[in-house]
Amino acid sequence: MYDKQILICAGTGCISSGALDVKGSLEKELEKHNLQDKVRIILSGCHGFCEKGPIFIVYPEDIFYCGVTAEDMPELVEEYLVKGNIVDRLLYKDPITGESVTSHENIPFYRQQKRLVLRNCGVIDPENIDEYIIRDGYSGLKKSLQMDPKEIIDTVKNSGLRGLGGAGFPTGRKWETAYKIESDKKYVVCNADEGDPGAFMDRSVLEGDPHSVLEGLMIAGKAIGSDEAYVYVRAEYPLAVRRLRKAIAQAEEYGLLGENILNSGFNFKVNVKEGAGAFVCGESTALVISIEGKRGMPKPLPRPRTTEAGLWDKPTLLNNVKTLSVIPQIINNGADWFAGIGTEKCKGTAVFALTGKTNCSGLIEVPMGIKLGKIIHEIGGGIPGGKKFKAVQTGGPSGGCLPESKLDLAVDFDTLLQAGSMMGSGGMVVLDETTCMVDVARYFLNFTVEESCGQCTPCRSGTLQMLEILNDICEGNGREGDVELLLELGKSIIDSSICGLGKSAPNPVLSTIDYFRDEYEAHIKDKTCPALVCKNLIIYDIDQEACTGCGRCRKNCPAGAIAGDKKEPHVIDQEKCTKCAICYDLCPDRFSAVKCLTGEKITAMAKGGGN
Amino acid sequence: MATVNINGIDVKAREGMTVLDVAQSAGIYIPTLCYHPDLSTFGGCRVCMVEADGSAVTACRAPIKDGMVVRTDTERVNQMRRVNVELIMTNHDQDCQTCAKNNNCKLQEVCAFEGITPERMSRLRRVITNKEQDTSNPAFKRDFAKCITCGICVRTCEEINGVAAIDFAFRGYKTTISTIGNKPILESKCESCGECVERCPTGALVVKNQVVPEREVRTICSYCGVGCGLVLGVRGNRVVGVRGDRQNPVNQGHLCVKGRYGFGFINHPDRLKAPLVKKNGTLTETSWDEALTLISGKIKEFTDKHGPNSLAGLTSARCTNEDNYLFQKLFRFLGTNNIDHCARL
């Protein structure tokens, strides 16, 4: 019998920050104190608070230690596990009050969340099927095996669940279509081709709770009359692939997958197909073509829906990882339970990868309809360094940027779309006042330019043209009429591209023009970057009166661009300066002598003979 | 029968036709680039966009419905089409005067229709990839600066010749038509049939050293027993090019590498124009009378001495079918079945 259980997060994020070393060191220390039989170590899936990783939780007390290292283990074991004294320095500190928080439930990052999809992530050992079963795992499957397919579909329909992959198509309706089509063979496909920069929701579910996805697939199979599934997962997610394969093997061993499951006569097989990392293969027709072993390119309209003729022209039900993983709970708890969460039109929860300029970042799950501002300021803990919030980018490269005036928006599929952005797969990047919106648009567009499949003209060449124009604007070579040209190109690309990738590619540009047009104009007309980001439009200069000649900037300048005698004001040679901003960052706050200038200030400085 | 209203004109149509089929049947021009009547539709160039019942569709793929209202000239349609043609043209080598496809280029035709002007083009940035031409094939060259990735060559290779030597490769603006491993075309499984060259809408695939003929002559290919119809391009007294005869029921315009590109022998200086007889160990030109007398003498001599089966006749694929028929008839008359022919492709 164990006295304590320790959960160490072994998601990809925490493993990168040394979770496995922590485990190794902890094992050694436990042996040293002869506690190896008293304390059970569990490697769990992602806890979401990746920024503070590795995460280390001790149960039954629920003490949440974060940012632990292998070196902390001797102290942690000695002080806490042996003597019972909480190690305060490893506790989470509230960014506003600075106070230590012991239990993870009291951390603002977790308090506002509602975890359905991520229910088991960070709670169970994903490589142990028993832990999943203890948490009601596979009871949804058991229940569904005794249900009529129509009954299952009605439950999903009544729950109001909409596809969590981003498009928000009603899941029940999709299932119904797949069910109604008669065919000797049908497939269920799990879309785990998560490709947005900064998004890792699907990966975390596959890594942290793979059995929930398998169970969802089987329930879907039972509902539509399919006996075979594919999980299309990025090859760049090796841990997810490994855990998924392990889960399949375990489920097969338990008779929960394979022939005659639980003596019901229902057979089901799950295959794993590793994708080669093309973003466009997240699109349903391209994904199906890719599984078939061909070049993943979306099929142009008119074409049959994947549900009607998908994989090898057979009816194919395609659902996202998150959608499938929440299905077992809907079957278990009933449609009303799920429909009770969220808003009128969007039920349940949304999963976001909250990143960027917030105090707390990571994987979060919130009820649909939560205010955007609440996510950023309460869960995210606000903007660090006392900076001002500027915009939030949602929906990944296909989404858009929303300004402060939209923080009151109740987040769901429809409201985000109306505001010019989208839920997408759930990326949420918070931007503060030091972010240049033209530069942000350029960043996201660059991604779609690289990831376009290249078959249709507007997406292949149009997005590249838009990117080139943005490059010019950021480099100070913007021309009068560029904004209008961007709008014209954007509209045409949206109107005439083949697939959703092209049709949404201009969104980051169009939404930033919509809300931050003045920044574009400043770049083009005044050759000014108001956020002081675009290198060609800024210079660094040393205020001769404020500089005390401490030499810190001179010694650290990688370009050797700063000259000046000791205790004499320094100057920057603009010819040599690479604008790396090291001098700006290093100049002590009490002097703040290094200034970043843009636009007219540069002209004024040049006239005044600045340096 | 269905009725489709295109730009206010009611056009009769059959179910299963596309908007493009119907428009063309009514003589209404819709620009296309990646469409080719011999091939499956691709819908990639997005130049044939029209509005059908209010939504933007590609005319080449959209099936018609009875009562459908199609508009090919709305502001929305014009903008989409113009932008897409501009986008294609921006990265296309614009040195048309020296291009082998000048005046025979689909892109020129579409640009002219859309009224693409240098003023509008100058607003876009030229981001051309300086990829070298592939000149490995002796018959044709691939100029990537002129390729508009319409995929007609890809579909031709797969659907017409069944070889699939080329396909799309890489992503985004780096997308190109490539052989396996992006090797020169000569090192691929390409059979050099030239069907893709024939269909390429721009100068991306052109015959090397192309000469424009002054007149054309219909004939039958003399290479093998299939008897494909050829249209020879003639300039003066020289054959300068060959294309498949689309009217010929045998090949319907298709040709193989020999029929299309193997016409160099016609005007070759080494070509035999008179019979050769070996005299004192060297082959010497002679008259037909002398040659035939020699042959008939030998035939008689051998038949008398060893019987007719000591004879064998070898004829040529380059003779016409009729010639070959008469040749075998002659040999059977002489009493032998020993007849062979070089038509083994």
Residues B95-114 pLDDT 10s: 899 999 999 999 999 999 99
Strand B229-235, strand B205-207: pairing: unpaired
Strand partners, B3: B12
Residue A209, φ and ψ in degrees, nearest 5: -155, 60
Q: What is the mean pLDDT of chain A?
A: 93
Interval B6-38: pLDDT, tens: 999 999 999 999 999 999 999 999 999 999 999
Q: Indicate the residue of B79, B84, B167 with minimum beta-carbon distance to A457.
A: B84
Q: Which segments in chain B show pLDDT lower than 50?
A: 345
Q: Give B171 to chain A, closest Cα distance, Å.
A: 5
Evaluate if residue A422 carries a pLDDT over 70.
Answer: yes
pTM of the model: 0.89
Interval A424-449: pLDDT, tens: 878 899 999 999 999 999 999 999 99
With vertex at residue B108, the alpha carbon angle to CA B103 and CA B114, rounded to the nearest 5 degrees, is 140
Contacts of B56 in chain A (CB under 8 A): 495-496
Mean pLDDT computed over A287-306: 93
Interval A162-217: pLDDT, tens: 999 888 999 999 999 999 999 999 999 999 999 888 788 999 999 999 999 999 99
A46-55, A279-288, A524-533, B247-256: segment of lowest average pLDDT:
A46-55
CA A199 to chain centre: 2
Mean pLDDT computed over A273-277: 92
Residues A205 and A213: beta-carbon distance below 8 Å: yes
- Domain extent listing, chain A: 4-110, 129-339, 349-432, 437-525, 535-607
Cα–Cα distance measured from residue B219 to residue B197, given in angstroms and rounded to the nearest whole number:
21
Give me A543's structure tokens. 């205020």
Ranges assigned E (strand) in B252-312: 276-279, 282-285
Q: What is A535-607's CATH topology?
A: Alpha-Beta Plaits (3.30.70)
The fraction of chain A above a pLDDT of 70, given in percent, is 99
Interval A88-108: pLDDT, tens: 999 998 877 888 999 988 888
Residues 6+ apart with CB under 8 A from A102: A62, A63, A64, A86, A91
Strand A63-65, strand A594-598: pairing: unpaired
Residues B168 and B154: beta-carbon distance below 8 Å: yes
Q: Give B315 to chain A, closest Cα distance, Å.
A: 47
Distances (CA, A) of A125 to A207, A210, A315, A434: 10, 10, 35, 41
CATH for A437-525 (3.40.50.450, 3.40.30.120, 3.60.21.10, 1.20.1440.230): 1.20.1440.230
Residues 6+ apart with CB under 8 A from A377: none
Query: Could you name the CATH architecture of A349-432?
Result: Roll (3.10)
A449 touches chain B (CB under 8 A): yes
Q: What is A4-110's CATH topology?
A: Glutaredoxin (3.40.30)
More confident residue, A607 or A251: A251
pLDDT at position A98 is 85
Give me A461's structure tokens. 């060449």
All domains of chain B, ordered by start, with CATH? 2-120 (3.10.20.740), 129-207 (3.30.70.20), 215-261 (2.20.25.90), 276-341 (no CATH)
Evaluate if residue A306 carries a pLDDT over 90.
Answer: yes
Which residues 292-321 of chain A have a CB within 8 Å of chain B?
295, 297, 300-302
Considering only CA atoms, which of A574, A549, A570 is closest in space to residue A559?
A574
Residues 6+ apart with CB under 8 A from A393: A356, A399, A400, A401, A402, A421, A427, A428, A429, A430, A431, A440, A444, A508
Considering only CA atoms, which of A95, A114, A18, A164 is closest in space to residue A361?
A95
Per-residue exposure over A156-182, b if at least 16 CB sit within 10 Å of its own CB, e if not: bbbbbbbbbbbbbebbbebbbbbbeee
Evaluate if residue A510 carries a pLDDT over 90.
Answer: yes
pLDDT at position B128 is 66
Residues A380 and A354: beta-carbon distance below 8 Å: yes
C-beta atoms surrounding B281 within 10 Å = 5
Strand B2-6, strand A562-563: pairing: unpaired
Residues A320 and A191: beta-carbon distance below 8 Å: yes
Contacts of A295 in chain B (CB under 8 A): 167-168
Strand B282-285, strand B313-315: pairing: unpaired
**Is B157 buried (19+), middle (13-18) or exposed (0-12) by CB count in 10 A?**
buried
Helix (H) or strand (E) run with residue A538 in it: strand A538-542
Per-residue exposure over A540-579, b if at least 16 CB sit within 10 Å of its own CB, e if not: bbbeeeebebbebbbeebeeebbebeeeebbbbebeebeb
Interface confidence (ipTM) of the complex: 0.86
Residues 6+ apart with CB under 8 A from B113: B29, B31
Interchain pair B125, A456: CB under 8 A: no
> DSSP string covering A263-291, please?
TTTEEEEEEEEEE---GGGGSHHHHHHHH
Q: What is the CATH superfamily name and number for domain A129-339? A: NADH-ubiquinone oxidoreductase 51kDa subunit (3.40.50.11540)
Contacts of B46 in chain A (CB under 8 A): 456-458, 496-498
Cα–Cα distance measured from residue A461 to residue B91, given in angstroms and rounded to the nearest whole number:
8
Q: Give A559 to chain B, closest Cα distance, Å.
A: 31
Evaluate if residue A338 carries a pLDDT over 90.
Answer: yes
A566 touches chain B (CB under 8 A): no
Cα–Cα distance measured from residue B26 to residue B17, given in angstroms and rounded to the nearest whole number:
13
The fraction of chain A above a pLDDT of 90, given in percent, is 84
Q: Indicate the residue of A295, A460, A485 with minimum beta-carbon distance to B123.
A: A485
pLDDT at position A610 is 45
pLDDT at position A289 is 95
Residue for token pair 């990168």: A16
Interchain pair A300, B44: CB under 8 A: yes
